[in-house]
Amino acid sequence: MVRLPIYMDHHATTPVDPRVVEAMLPYFTEVYGNAASKDHLFGVEANNAVEQARKQIATLINAKPEEIIFTSGATESDNIALFGAAEKYAGKGDHIITCVTEHKAVLDAAKRLEQMGKRVTYLRVDQYGRIDLDELRDAITLQTVLISVMAANNEIGTLAPVTEIGKIAREHSVIFHTDATQAVGHIPIDVQQMQIDCLSMSAHKLYGPKGIGALYVRKSNPRVRLAPVLYGGGHERGLRSGTPNVPGIVGFGEAAAIAKREMDKLAVQYRNWTEQLFSALQERIEGVARNGHPTARLPHNLNIYLPGIESRAFIVDLQDLAISTGSACTTASVEPSHVIAALGFGEQRAHCSLRFGLGRSNDAEQVAYAVEVVKQKVFLLRKFIMS
Ligand SMILES: Cc1ncc(COP(=O)(O)O)c(C=O)c1O
């Protein structure tokens, strides 16, 4: 029997792995010290746990533990990277380069920087959601202080040519920040090999708890300096003041350690499932097309275009299957996806796309069930539209 309801929205968030919960539990009631109060054993123990998690997270991306700054999540990490670099390097220049398909945490921070008098170049993308490296090279000027391009897109799963971007940034002595929220813990990320200077991540996207994330900030070759966004007790190398969220940090560390051990095997499984899902939907439903890159993509992502099917209405009615539209919902309105709109197929496609995000809670039966549910629903809707 297939287990219902089915959760296939793992890009939005993931369930916390039971092993992560277990690792966290003692840090609520037993080891509850303030990790910044190291004059007694309570604080020392809490601090040891924080440092252990810092190591686990650093290992996952091949960084040094002291290069990991804990934050409340990727939104905050993105904001520190953009505002922090813009302020710290204001003496060098006032120009930032990013991309039109970034998450709002980067795009809205960039817009705010524009309001504050900075100049921002928004690189366009091709039909698969990839930037043109020549366009990036051409955009760099002597005033450019930061390039921020996401490692993996949260809607269409397309992977950026991170290594190439890192090389270009280094050649021009520009800081390279990547929002790797959807990539870390799912595909290999190596900040040394990829020449990444700053990297945003979030625990709840890799089976850790919500409300805890990190920003990797390179300490050497070159040393990156950022201005803080929050001021206070000077925690986290002075970059992120505030009492450390010890249980959250411990959970993040455990989630990172589990991902390091298991992600390669899971990626093979997810790639098979998303390919099966796509070909089965293509076979059964006329006009289905993939949004995003066919190969340079997150293994657990499938984003499809269903011509003539308004995706918002489509998913609201799906009781047993939790998937997502290509739309970015704000509290006030439902806008068509800025990511799919940027692929150049016209606005209709941005209203008629669905995102599947597979994860550890899924199995082969659920994948087959998802195909049938979507097929039947499309069939009924199209019949209704035609009649
Ligand atoms: C690419 C990307 N960046 C940033 C975020 C924001 O992450 P958080 O929820 O940790 O603030 C998300 C989450 O949706 C994301 O997918």
> How many domains does the chain divide into?
2
> Where does a domain end: 235, 257, 279?
257
What's the pLDDT tens digit per position in 198-246? 999 999 999 999 999 999 999 999 999 999 999 999 999 999 999 999 9
Which spans in 285-346 are helix H?
311-316, 338-341
- pTM score over 0.85: yes
Closest CA to 369 of 83, 2, 90: 2
Residue 21 pLDDT: 98
- Map tokens 């560390």 to a residue: 253
pLDDT digits (tens, 9 = 90+) for 271-291: 999 999 999 999 999 999 999
Residue 329 among the catalytic residues: yes
Whether 101 is covered by a domain: the verdict is yes
348 in the same domain as 267: yes
How high is the pLDDT of residue 1? 84
User: CA 360 to CA 14: how far, in whole Å?
Assistant: 9
Q: In what order do the strands lie in the sheet with 289-290?
A: 289-290, 301-305, 353-357, 324-325
* pLDDT higher than threshold 70 for residue 329: no
Mean pLDDT over residues 336-359, rounded?
94
3-state DSSP call for residue 6? strand
Average pLDDT of 105-128?
A: 98
| DSSP state at residue 16 | P
Pocket of ligand 1, beta carbon within 6 A: 73-75, 103, 105, 150, 154, 179, 181-182, 202, 213
Question: Rounded CA gap, 187 and 190, in Å?
Answer: 10
Nearest CA, atom 16, ligand 1: 154
Beta strands 213-217; 198-202: pairing state: antiparallel
At which of 257, 287, 321 does a domain end? 257
- Segment 363-378, tens digit of pLDDT: 999 999 999 999 999 9
d(CA 7, CA 356): 9
Q: Say if residue 226 is in the same domain as residue 284.
A: no
Which pLDDT score is estimated for 330?
Answer: 44
| Residue 69: half-sphere exposure toward Cβ, Cα within 13 Å | 30
Full domain range(s) for residue 130:
18-257
In angstroms, what is the span from residue 111 Cα to ligand 1's centroid?
A: 17
**161, HSE (Cβ side, Cα atoms, 13 Å):** 14
Q: Any idea what the CATH number is for the domain that residue 320 is in? A: 3.90.1150.10
Q: Report the separation in Å between the CA atom of 181 and the middle of ligand 1, taken as the mean of its atom positions.
A: 6
**How close is the Cα of 307 to the center of ligand 1, in Å?**
28
Q: How confident is the model at residue 331 (pLDDT cuts 50, 70, 90)?
A: very low
Shared domain for 190 and 273, answered yes or no, is no
Residue nearest to atom 14 of ligand 1 (CA): 12
pLDDT digit string, tens, across residues 137-182: 999 999 999 999 999 999 999 999 999 999 999 999 999 999 999 9
- Ligand 1, atom 13: nearest CA belongs to which residue? 12
Quick check: 327 pLDDT over 70? Answer: no
